Amino acid sequence: MERQVKVMIGGKEYHLLYSVAVLFDTTEKFGSLQKALNAIDDENEKAGAEAVIWFALKMAEAGELSRRYAGHQANKIPSEKEMNTLISPLEYSELKNAVIKAISIGYMRDVENKEEIDMGLLELEEKKTVDEAPVPSTAIPP
C-alpha cells in the first residue's frame, strides 16, 4: 500500500507521509492526535492554517526522507517560509485534505490479500456446502 499522499505546492510535487516520527512530534506539539485534528479544524482560520502547514512540513520531510531511503533522487525539503509564500488559497484547501488523508493512511494496515473477503458470505457458503453434501444412508441393505 502506498503510504504517501502526493500534493502540489507552488508547482512542485511533495509526498506527505504520516510516520512514527511525525506522530511523536504531533503528540509533543499538540498533546494528542485528536487535539491536533481539532487545531486543523479551528474556527480561527489562522490557527487552523498554521496547524495544516505544520503538518504539511513535517509530513513532507518524512516523505522526502522515506523516498531517499528507497533510492529515489533527493529533492529539496520545503521550508516554512517557502510553504507560506508559495501556497495559494486553492492549494491550501487541497493541502488540508491531503494532510488529513495522509494521517488516515498512516493508520491503515497493509493486507496481503488484494481481494476483499466478506466473512459473512464465506460462512454462509460453507454452511450451504455442508447442507448440500449427500447424507449417508442409514438403511440396512436387504
Tell me the per-residue pLDDT of 11-21, one tens digit each, with 9 for 90 and over. Answer: 888 999 999 99
Measuring CA to CA, which residue among 20, 21, 19, 23 is closest to residue 5? 19
Predicted local confidence at residue 116, as pLDDT: 63
Predicted local confidence at residue 134, as pLDDT: 58
**Confidence check: pLDDT of 25 > 70:** yes
Q: Residue-wise over 22-55: b if at least 16 C-beta within 10 A, else e?
A: bbebbeeebeeeeebbebbeeeeeeebbbbbbbb
Average pLDDT on 64-86 reads 89
Average pLDDT on 73-80 reads 88
Predicted local confidence at residue 128, as pLDDT: 62
Predicted local confidence at residue 1, as pLDDT: 45
**Model's pTM, two decimal places?**
0.71
**Confidence check: pLDDT of 56 > 70:** yes
**Confidence check: pLDDT of 8 > 90:** no
**Confidence check: pLDDT of 101 > 70:** yes
Average pLDDT on 73-77 reads 88
Predicted local confidence at residue 130, as pLDDT: 54
